[in-house]
Amino acid sequence: MELEKLARLAGYRFVLREITHDKSVSHPGTLNMKMKWANVGVAKLYRPFNLQISLRNSAGETATTTTVADADPRDWLPGERDITASVPIPCEPILFLLPCYQIFGFPNAVLLDAAIERLYDLNVGVVGVAGERHERPHKPLLLLAVFDLIDEGFATPDHIPWCRELRDRFTARFDLVRKHDDQNSPENPFLYLRNDGFWLATKLGPSGIESLQTQPLVGDTGMVFAGFTDGFEFLASIPDNRRKMRDALVARYFPQHAAVLLPGVPTPVEPYPSAKVADDEPEFGRSPAFRRKILEIYDHQCAACGLRIKLPAAQDVSFIDAAHLIPFAESHNDHPTNGLALCKNHHWAMDRNLIAPCPDHQWHVSPVLDPRRSTGEKELQRLSGKSLLLPQDQAFHPDPEGLRWRSEKLIA
């Protein structure tokens, strides 16, 4: 199938086609190499990566590694590229030269994870006061409408017309999810999605195509267009990617409306998988995006004991977890109101239903805990009747449904 073939080719796939090098070289000295690299994928690379060449000695150990100075794989469009490199040879004799090369390439899943992370982090804005505080739905709704348009052949990821079909699909969804005084204004996200780094809106002006500066009017149909950028234009060209991005947008922004926003789409049994990696490796995808949002909202403070540990952002590790009230596998709900920041201990205890945050905004404790048996149980029992430590912004207070779910799970 053509689509499957495309999915396999997806991403940036670099292959070393040819390599020639000096027949002999003195040490110390310089080894000159010529390489022919081909990008056999369908997209160009957007992130900075270096081309490095390592030479091994006869024992198979890396004897020297050089970064090729003027090779920027981001310039390697699909096609072939000639690269020359000079590798300094150290004093130590290298008896056997074996160029070993790195093949760069982003599997589609890695790119998709990174894109979903950014979709989770749209700069949506929070409006309203007190109990009416909520995130504005416009940007995620526009993206859902755009994916519809691409599905239906009205648009391609790099050519999205500002048209009635787009506004209709936006409005149909808007009516389902609107809150309080939200305004039905697709023109707003059509312009302001540009601030999220993967959207370019343009207008046909007197002197040609210029970037869109103001919100488009209905009469601008035929003159205003947008396109995905930054790799999204390629990702969104694959139907299965659009399905996963749509699922992610709904899980993050409109979990309560999944049935109407994703009609006819059976909820997958498994949550969207994100790669299992060690704690100290960078992760991408929905899980880390959810965690970051919860930690930001709770300012890295455990909602049970108040412990706050906030390491520098660059560390990207935390002792405080982002716990789901109703687990994602069951709820497909990554809205921040389905989350709670908890330290490892209280996360552990909540997941085993020994403690529960309840609709009265207090912690309740299971009677199976015996404070005479262990100091740990004594500590947990002390939580009984204590208030949940909640974020300041009411827009992100826990959903009562999630609290009810937890209170019902508490071991009696």
Residues in contact with Zn ion by CB under 5 A are 302, 304-305, 307, 343, 346
Strand-by-strand arrangement of the 98-100 sheet: 62-67, 52-56, 98-100
Helix ranges (H only) for 72-127 are 108-120
Tell me the closest approach of the beta carbon of residue 305 to Zn ion, in angstroms.
3
Half-sphere exposure of 254 (CA within 13 A, CB side): 25
Q: To the nearest whole angstrom, how small is the minimum distance from the Cβ of residue 388 to Zn ion?
A: 11
For residues 378 and 346, what is the distance between their CA atoms, to the nearest angstrom? 13
SS3 at position 216: coil
Least distance from Zn ion to the Cβ atom of residue 309, Å: 10
Of 387, 302, 292, whose CA–CA distance to 347 is shortest?
Answer: 302
196: left (phi over 0), alpha (psi -120 to 50) or beta: alpha
User: Cα dist. 384→9, 105, 216 in Å?
Assistant: 56, 52, 55
Centre a 10 Å sphere on the Cβ of residue 391 and count the other Cβ atoms it contains. Answer: 19
**Closest approach of Zn ion to the CB of residue 55, in Å:** 52
Whether 115 and 238 have beta carbons less than 8 Å apart is answered as no
Q: Which residues contact 381 (CB under 8 A, 6 or more apart)?
A: 365, 369, 371
Q: Which is nearer to Zn ion, 49 or 319 (CB)?
A: 319
Q: Minimum distance between the CB of residue 295 and Zn ion, rounded to whole angstroms?
A: 14
User: Judged by CB, which is closer to Zn ion: 39, or 366?
Assistant: 366
Check if the beta carbon of residue 216 is closer than 8 Å to that of residue 224. Answer: yes
Name the residue nearer to Zn ion (CB basis): 108 or 318.
318
| Residue placing its CB nearer to Zn ion in the complex, 119 or 323 | 323
Residue 354 Cβ vs Zn ion, minimum distance, rounded to whole Å: 13
At residue 352, the 3 state secondary structure works out as coil
- Residue 278: Cβ within 10 Å count: 6
**Closest separation in Å from C-beta 350 to Zn ion:** 10
How many angstroms separate the CA atoms of 320 and 310, rounded?
8
Tokens 């009810």 sit on residue: 404
**At residue 367, what are phi and psi to the nearest 5 degrees?**
-70, -10
Closer to Zn ion by CB, 51 or 369: give it.
369
For Zn ion, the closer of residues 64 and 345 by Cβ is: 345
| Cβ-based nearer residue to Zn ion, 134 or 308 | 308
Structure tokens at 14: 């670099």
- Map residue 235 onto helix, strand or coil: helix
Instruction: Name which of 25 and 307 has its Cβ closer to Zn ion.
Output: 307
CB of 343 to Zn ion, least distance (A): 3
Residue nearer to Zn ion on the CB measure, 173 or 346: 346
The nearest distance, CB 396 to Zn ion, in angstroms, is 19
Enclosing H/E stretch for 340? strand 339-343
Cβ proximity to Zn ion: between 9 and 358 the closer is 358
The two tokens of residue 93 are 């004799």
What minimum distance in Å lies between the beta carbon of 6 and Zn ion? 48
Radius of gyration of the chain (CA): 26
